[in-house]
Amino acid sequence: MRKIIKKELLLEGKTKKIYATENPHEVIIHYKDSITALDGLKKDFLQDKGILNNEITTFIFKFLNSYGLKTHFIRRINNREQLCHKVDIIPLEFVVRNILSGSISKRLGVKEGTIPLNTIFEIFYKNDNLKDPLINDHHAVLLGLISYEELNITYRITSNINNILKKFFLDKNIILVDFKIEFGKDSKNQIFLSDEISPDTCRLWDKKTREKFDKDIFRSGFSEKVLDAYIEILKRLNVG
């Protein structure tokens, strides 16, 4: 396997850093130990959280790759870093909800834990100044973030991912309540699933007890319990 040369820092986000490599089409993604919520207003540092999320995302992206789904993930380099295809992130968060929780409960006044008859798909505009507003397809096209054709593709992939992961997690006795994904485009305008899929970006409940194993633990103020929950997810992923 070729030696990857880590070059300059290209970008630092709330939970990840992105470095250039000697290959202009590939980057190194480094997972940090920070955890944030409420548009970055609530912050903490949890020793080794980055290691867990790197491992969990690696597991899930490899699994999705095995279904022929195009993701930015190439391989895990070490406990905190992955080699990925370089993409320009489309500044949209695609959210899928199988059970209602979080912002939708507040926005629409629906009870937490309600199971909707339809699967709910939402898009949010990634824009810190505007506080990541919920928008619709027409707004996204109006803003030049994505085309209608690309939305067709991204919704189709999002729905496939939901079907694959819902079943996958259920086999591990975990309910995939909701999740957020992001897409990027490479230099040839090909769309790749990007960013991460981890307990930072999903709601994951125990099938029997409905205990939470995700970032909601942090949102509720129990920082000290977050790592154990993420370790439990990793343990269940590795079983069976």
- Residues in contact with ligand UDP by the rule CB under 6 A: 93, 95, 102-104, 132, 178-180, 201-203, 215
**Shortest reach from residue 96's CB to ligand UDP, in Å:** 8
Query: Can you give the three-state secondary structure of the chain, one letter per residue?
Result: CCCCCEEEEEEECCCEEEEEECCCCEEEEEECCEEEECCCCEEEECCCHHHHHHHHHHHHHHHHHCCCCCECEEEEEECCEEEEECCEECCEEEEEECCCCCHHHHHHCCCCCCCCCCCEEEEEECCHHHCCCEECHHHHHHCCCCCHHHHHHHHHHHHHHHHHHHHHHHCCCEEEEEEEEEEEECCCCCEEEECCCCCCCEEEEECCCCCECCCHHHHCCCHHHHHHHHHHHHHHHCCC
Please, what is the minimum distance in Å from the beta carbon of residue 22 to ligand UDP?
31
Residue nearest to ligand UDP (CB): 102
Q: How far is the CB of 20 from ligand UDP (least distance, A)?
A: 25
Give 77 or 93: the residue with its C-beta nearer to ligand UDP. 93
Looking at the Cβ atoms of 204 and 234, the one nearer to ligand UDP is 204
Distance CA 85, CA 208 (A): 38
- In the complex, the smallest distance separating the C-beta of residue 187 from ligand UDP, rounded to whole angstroms, is 27
How far apart are CB 207 and ligand UDP at their closest, in Å? Answer: 17
Strands 16-21 and 6-12: antiparallel
* Residue the block writes with tokens 């309600």: 114
Closest to ligand UDP by CB, 77 vs 199, is 199
Q: 51 vs 102, which CB is nearer to ligand UDP?
A: 102
Minimum separation from the CB atom of position 40 to ligand UDP (A)? 9
Give Dmax over CA atoms of the chain in angstroms.
Answer: 53
